[in-house]
Amino acid sequence: MKTPGIYTDINTQTQRTGLPTQDHRIVFVTGDAAAPKNPTPIYDTATANVVSGDNSNAGRMIAAALSVSQGVRVETVGKSNPSDGSGGDITCKPTSITLSAENASQSSGVLTMSRNGAPKVTLQPPSPTASDEEYLDYTRQVLELTYFAQDGVSMAFVMGDFIVGIEPKQDDNGNTISVMSGIPIDGVIDYVGTPYDLKEGVYDLNRLLTAGDPTIFTPNIVPEVNTLEIYPTPDTPPELDGYYAYGGDESGEPVVIRSCAKAVIEGAGDETVCTPTTHTILYKSYWDNRVPSDGELHARYRVNNGEWIDYTASTVDGSDYILKLFESIRLPNGDRAIEVVGGTVNPASSQTPFRSYRGENKLIGASALEPFSEEQTGVVRPYPITIEFEVTQNDFNDLVYLAFGESIIAKSCAIASWSAM
C-alpha cells in the first residue's frame, strides 16, 4: 500500500517452507474519539465507522487504500490522547434496535448476517417437517451469531427475555415491544426508557438452550467490542426475510448493532468451554501395513449426539478410503463438516469446522479463539460440534479402526477458514 510521503512494500507471496505462518498487519493509529483502545480489525468504511464512530478518520483511511493483499490484516486503534481532548478516556457507545411488531413473524425467516466484519452467513429456517435436532441446531446458530460474545459462551447482545425482572411494555396497538441491545461498559441497558442493570441477574443462554435450565446468574461486565450487521437476503421476498423484522427497509442498507461489553457468567457454562482436538490418522497409504481386505468397507459415526450413521464403501472405489469417509460427513444443516484436501476427493470447501489433509495425516478441529488450530486462518463463527467415531470391528475394513485404531470423539469449536494448500 502506498500513501503520499510513505512508501511501504510488503511481499506476502514469498514461499516460506517450514517457517512460521506469516501474520502481516497494517494498523491505522487515529485521533477518533470513539476509536478502540486495542487494535481492532476493520474491513471497509462501514466497519471502521462502527468501531471508531461516524465519518471516522479510520474509515477515510481504509477507503483511500487502493489495494491490500489478502495476507495483510488491517486494524485501527486510538491515540493515547485523541484529537477531541478526551485525554485517552475513550467511550464506546452501544446501540440498540426495536424489532418491528408489524413484521415480528419475519424474525424467524431467512437471516443474512455478519459478525465483526466476518464473511456474511445466511441461515435458512428449518422446514415444518424438520427434526428437533435440526431446529436446535438452527436456534444455536442464530444465538451464536446474534447474542454470544467472541468466546461463544458469554453474552454480547441481549433481549428482554434474558434479563431478570424486566417488565414488558406494549406499543399503541397492544404489541409487546422487543428491543435488542448492545451491552454498555457499566452493564446498564435502556429498555423503552427504563434502565435495567444486567449485573442484577440474567439467564445463562447455554443452559437455557442445552438443558432448559432457567437458573439466574449475576454476571461480570467485561469490555469487548462486538458488531452485528444484518443484510437483506438476495432473491428472498420481504415477507420471508428477517432483515425487515430487525428494522431493515427498502434501501437495503445493513442494520448495524454495536456492543461495548460482554456479560461473563463466572462458574456457569464451564462445561461449555470448548477445546478443539487433533487426531493422528494412522492409515497413510495403500502401501503401508494397514491395508483393508478386498471387499466392503464400513464406518460408524454420529454428529452432535445425533443418530448413528453406518457408512459403507468398497475397496474397488480407490485407496482414499479415509478422505472419502470424511467428505461424506455432513452437519445437521447439510453443510460439509470436514474440509478434505488431497487424494481423489472433491476440491476443498472454504469454511468448515474440521480439516483433514492427506500429507499431514490428521483430523484437525477448529478453535473459536486465538491461538488458532494448525492450518486455521480465521473464525467465521463459534460453533461447538463433535463427531463421534465408533469401532465396530477390530479389522482394517472398519475405517474407524483403520484411521484411528480405536473409537474417538473429534471436537471443533468454530466454523473456520483454513490456509491454502
Query: Are residues 248 and 150 part of one domain?
Result: yes
Residues 103 and 201 both lie in one domain:
yes
Statement to judge: residues 126 and 222 lie in one domain: yes
246 and 114 share a domain? yes
Burial category of 324 from C-beta neighbours within 10 Å (exposed 0-12, middle 13-18, buried 19 and up): buried
Q: Are residues 230 and 351 in the same domain?
A: no
CB of 352 within 8 A of CB of 384? no
User: Containing H/E element for 338?
Assistant: strand 338-341
**Structural domain boundaries enclosing 358:** 278-418
- Short-list 116, 2, 115, CA closest to 68: 2
pLDDT score recorded for residue 29: 74
pLDDT reported for residue 89: 39
Question: How much is the pLDDT for 58?
Answer: 73
Same domain, residue pair 243 and 203: yes
**Which whole-number Å values give the CA distances from 81 to 30, 34, 59, 146, 242, in the listed order?**
10, 12, 19, 33, 41
Backbone angles phi, psi at 261, to 5 degrees: -155, 170
Instruction: Please tell me whether residues 225 and 165 are part of one structural domain.
Output: yes
- pLDDT score recorded for residue 11: 44
307 Cβ partners below 8 Å, 6+ apart?
none
Asked whether residue 291 is domain-assigned, the answer is yes
Question: Does one domain contain both 263 and 364?
Answer: no
Residues 304 and 246 in one domain: no
Does 391 share its domain with 250?
no
Tell me, yes or no, whether 160 lies in a domain: yes
Is 83 inside any structural domain?
no
Q: Are residues 264 and 407 in the same domain?
A: no
- pLDDT value for 83: 40
pLDDT given at position 264: 87
- Tell me whether residue 218 is in a domain: yes
Q: What pLDDT does 102 receive? A: 59
Residue ending a domain, among 44, 78, 112, is 78
CB of 182 within 8 A of CB of 227?
Answer: no
7 assigned to some structural domain: yes
Q: CA–CA separation, 248 vs 145, rounded Å? A: 18
Residues 71 and 148 in one domain: no
Angle at 120 between CA 117 and CA 122, to 5 degrees: 150
Decide if 363 contacts 278 (C-beta within 8 A): yes
Dist. CA 309–CA 306, nearest whole Å? 9
Distances in Å between the alpha carbon of 254 and those of 43, 112, 228, 244?
15, 10, 9, 10
78, 108, 126 - which closes a domain: 78
**Residue that terminates a domain, selected from 12, 43, 78:** 78
Q: pLDDT tens, position by position, for the chain (421 residues)?
A: 334 444 344 444 444 444 444 455 677 777 666 677 667 777 677 667 766 776 777 777 777 663 444 445 566 666 544 443 333 335 688 998 887 655 555 556 788 999 888 888 898 888 878 776 677 777 777 877 888 888 777 889 988 766 767 777 787 887 777 888 999 999 998 888 888 888 887 877 666 665 555 567 778 899 999 999 999 999 998 888 888 888 888 899 999 999 999 998 765 444 445 689 999 988 765 445 667 788 899 999 998 877 899 999 988 776 678 888 998 999 877 888 998 876 444 444 568 899 987 655 889 999 877 788 888 888 877 777 889 999 999 888 999 998 899 999 999 988 888 887 6
Q: What is the pLDDT of residue 130?
A: 76
Structural domain tally of the chain? 3
Residue 303 and residue 386 in contact, taking contact as beta carbons nearer than 8 Å: yes
Place of cell 471443533: 412
Structural domain contains residue 381: yes
Predicted pLDDT at 257: 93
pLDDT of residue 335: 83
**pLDDT at residue 391, as a whole number:** 95
Give the C-alpha separation, 188 to 212, whole Å.
Answer: 26
Between the CA atoms of 346, 352, 357 and 362, what dihedral angle is there, to the nearest 10 degrees? -140
pLDDT for the residue numbered 153: 78
**CA-to-CA dists, residue 191 to 96, 173, 182, 187, 257, angstroms:** 9, 18, 11, 13, 15
In a domain, 88, yes or no: no
Instruction: Tell me the HSE value of 349 on the side-chain side, using a 13 A CA sphere.
Output: 17
Q: Indicate whether 386 belongs to any domain.
A: yes
Element (H, E) at 404: helix 399-404
